Amino acid sequence: VLVLSRKSNESIVINGEIVVTVLEVGRNGQVRLGIEAPRHYQIYRHELLLEIQRENRDALSSAEFDNVASARIPPQAN
Amino acid sequence: MLTATKEESVAVVRVQTLKHGLIDLAEECRITFATPLLGFEHLKSFYIYQPTPGPTYWMQSVEQPRVAFCLLAPFQAGLDPQIVIEPGDVSDIAASGTADIQLFTLVVLDRDPSLHRTNLRAPILVGRTSRLAKQVVLSDQRLAIKFFLRDLKVLEV
């Protein structure tokens, strides 16, 4: 792991096109980051990605249940 | 094992599915993930098919017959989640923009049907023309990752 020390309003640059700036370091240990990156980069909180991955895996394992072969969810009435 | 046969002018492929055995599908049901499904980076190609009319579909892996997902077309199901997809989000899978996109959500089935749920936060987008797909994680925190389908006002017909 590359470890860099940065203070408020200092930045790092990744690959010449992503700039991560430390905006604020709170007393409670929370750090606010500003990220400038081209639009095609998908940037998420890590725990959100892990939650989506877990949900995807749950979707896979649940597909094997025998009693839901049709998985019929009728359309809602208008 | 996939066997291609010609039937009139539509290319039909025999596909081994997890849920419905060996079935014949139009080749155009096949999609390829341009960026992989999160957690399933090794799987690229799937068939999306509907065993019965309605808002549910199945997405069957081409590479692994034991891998299949239940999908929901949420708008068809009567849901109206405020899902906003920007043209820039789909430029890699639909050159003509969001009008050319089909949207599905992954369903987590439960032995108790009242606990079936779907993930509105990370829908699967499919380019109708390109047949390319991707899963996007939307930034709108109001979209539930675990939306319980019992919350739909279901009409039994």
* Among the listed residues A21, A31, A69, A10, the one whose alpha carbon sits nearest the alpha carbon of residue B19: A69
Is the pTM value of this prediction over 0.90?
no
ipTM metric: 0.86
* Mean residue pLDDT across chain A: 86
Taking a C-beta distance cutoff of 8 angstroms, is the pair B146, A56 a contact?
no
Interface membership of B43 toward A (CB under 8 Å):
no
Q: What is the pLDDT of residues B34-57, one digit of tens each?
A: 988 999 999 999 999 998 888 999
List the one residue out of B94, B101, B119, B71 whose CA is nearest residue A49. B119
Nearest residue of A to residue B70, measured between CA atoms: A63
Q: In A, which residues are within 8 Å of B106 by CB distance?
A: 55-56, 59
pLDDT tens-place string over residues A46-75? 999 999 999 999 999 888 776 554 455 555
Integer Cα distance of A30 and A43 in angstroms: 18
Q: What's A59's DSSP letter?
A: H
In the predicted structure, residue B156 carries a pLDDT above the cut 70: no
Q: Does A78 touch chain B (CB under 8 A)?
A: yes
Of B54, B88, B146, the CB nearest to A73: B54
Among A4-18, B7-21, B97-111, the least confident range: B7-21
Cβ-Cβ contacts under 8 Å for A46 (sequence gap 6 or more): none
Written as one string, the DSSP assignment of B80-93 is: -------HHHHTTT
